[in-house]
Amino acid sequence: MAVPTTDPIIVAPTNMPFREDESLDLDALARNVDKFCGTALSGFVVGSYGGEEFHMGEPEKIAAIETVASAHSGRRFVIAGIDALSPTEAVRLANMYAEAGADMVRVRIPPAGGKRSTAPIQDYFEQVTSESPVPVVVIHQPKTAMGVDITPDELNDITSFNNVFAYIMSLNFRYECRAAQFVADGVKLWTCNGTLLMPGGMIGAVGGCMLFANWGPHLARDVIQACMDGRYGEARAIQERINHMDFLGMSWGVAVQKAGLNLLGYEGTVPRKPNLPLSDTQIAEVREALFEAGILNSDGTPAPQI
């Protein structure tokens, strides 16, 4: 396992390349991972929304984890995504994913709806964290952008359990500004997307998990590092360059991930149906946004990522 010992740690939902017949192209996935190992990307998140989590079956997820783990060969690390309402099911998946090569699991906080008829959320994570064979990354990702699935006190309880590595905040920045101080000592606070890199860094984030890190992991790292150092002017300058690209990712989804990777020389391919690839006009805007960010040169060649 090659989990960094120093911050910032930047990870991204790993793109799943598909062939024309929509089968998962594991060879292309391995080639992409090998190429990513030459960038500032700290690790890979397999089985996440940005990686078409809900468009893949369990056997494909296992094969993808095994492929990514083999391809990075100890140079990076793997986080496997879990979205399970049952803690028993989450533990089953954690054991299966760890056996396939995952170094951590990212567990989504179950939706808050119906809480009055369910056990306390602390019970869920007490079981998951105690029975998972690998560290747990807790993610707060409500179905609505301004939703809240956990109280600050519940967050403190959950992150106080042993075996919790990090907490990924939600898009609800007003809430997370308050909640951040409740993350237990020793647990890393990670921001959740490129637009919230500087805001997240200013409330204490020391890393992030985001779609943008597929295209500019070095820029994500630099924004967080600048905030950690108190160099907010530098952080703002980078943030302003990347907002257009991240906005496209939020607006058009996984097809942007793939189009951007294709433009950068990866095998991004196209989304699995029913999602559709971008139009030529949309691809042209992605190209312009990558140029604005300094990720693509004006001639369309990838800029160095250092």
Q: What is the DSSP string of 207-257?
A: EEE-GGGGT-HHHHHHHHHHHHHT-HHHHHHHHHHHHHHHHHHHHHTHHHH
Residues 66-92 have a mean pLDDT of 97
Q: Is 208:220 a contact under the CB 8 Å cutoff?
A: yes
pLDDT at 2: 74
Q: Six-digit token pair at 96? A: 């299966």
Buried b (16+ CB within 10 A) or exposed e, 179-194: bbebbeeebbbbbbbb
pTM reported for the whole predicted model: 0.96
Average pLDDT over residues 147-152: 95
* pLDDT for 160 beyond 80: yes
Q: Which residues contact 303 (CB under 8 A, 6 or more apart)?
A: 294, 295, 296, 297
Q: What is the CATH number of domain 9-234?
A: 3.20.20.70
Per domain, the residue ranges of the chain are 9-234
Peptide bond just before 274 cis, omega within 30 deg: yes
Give residue-wise pLDDT tens across range 104-130: 999 999 997 655 678 999 999 999 999
Say whether pLDDT at 1 is over 60. no
- What residues contact 201, with CB distance under 8 A and at least 6 apart? 191, 223, 224, 226, 227, 228, 235
- Convert the pLDDT of each residue in 13-67 to its tens digit: 999 999 999 999 999 999 999 999 999 999 999 998 776 878 899 999 999 999 9
pLDDT for 115 equals 58
